[in-house]
Amino acid sequence: MNKDLVKILSELKSIAPDADYSAKLRNLLLAEINTDKRTAPERFSLADVLVAVYSRRPIYVIAATAFALILIVSSSAFYTVNEINKHDFVVKAGEVNNSIQVKLDEIKYLLGSKEIDYNKSVIIQTMLLGATEDLKKASEEKDTNKSLEKIKSAQETLYKIDVLLQNK
């Protein structure tokens, strides 16, 4: 390879963001992180949710179990299925796992306040099982794109559950 080209390429290493802007962005980033931390709901473990559920209505046991399945299946799907695009999977896994955690927190809260009626809980249960099924298929799928489609579908289902929970 042309030595001049290698030299010029290595000189591109001097490209850097504007120092002032960079410092401002750092402050902005830390401010956003702190805002995230303040607005994040208190985290509950799956065990907390199950204990709360058992003490109330049995229908929620199924819903919480489905959540547990989603957590287990999604973790294994993302980390073991596809070696080719594991970086993308890890990023995607984080997003989906966060969505699931948010839903768990919300269910826990709603159980406490008894704001979900029986019919809605059945619908949510069905949707959860659908999402679980999608994630299970994602874990079995060899094709990366098809796996991602299933993961996306599970994520969309979670968003729909979110809408249902918000319109309680």
Partner 1 sequence: MLDGDKNLIERAIGGEAEAFGQLYDKYQSGIYRFIYLKVGLREEAEDLTHQVFLKSWRNISGYNFRGFPFSSWLYSIAKNQVIDYYRLKKEVIKLESIAELKTENDSQISLDKKTDLTRVKNAILELNDEQQSVIIFRFIEDFSISETALALDKSESAVKLLQHRAVKNLKKIIDE
**Nearest to residue 99, comparing CAs of 110, 88, 107, 111?**
107
Residues 144, 84 contacting (CB under 8 angstroms):
yes
CA distance 147 to 131: 13
In 3D space, the residue among 97, 105, 118, 113 whose CA is nearest the CA of residue 64 turns out to be 105
Binding mask 61-100 for partner 1 (x = CB under 8 A): ------------------x----xxxxx-xx-xxx-xx--
Residue 2 contacts partner 1 per CB under 8 A? yes
Position 38 contacts partner 1 (CB under 8 A)? no
| 5 lies in the binding site for partner 1 (CB under 8 A) | yes
Stretch that binds partner 1, among 14-22, 106-114, 130-138, 157-165 (CB under 8 A): 14-22
Cα–Cα separations (whole angstroms), residue 160 to 15, 103, 155: 44, 11, 9
Residue 26 Cα to chain centre, angstroms: 25
Rounded to the nearest whole angstrom, what is the least distance from the CB of residue 26 to partner 1 in the complex? Answer: 6
Q: Which residues bind partner 1 (CB under 8 A)?
A: 1-2, 5-6, 8-18, 21-22, 25-26, 28-30, 32-34, 36-37, 79, 84-88, 90-91, 93-95, 97-98
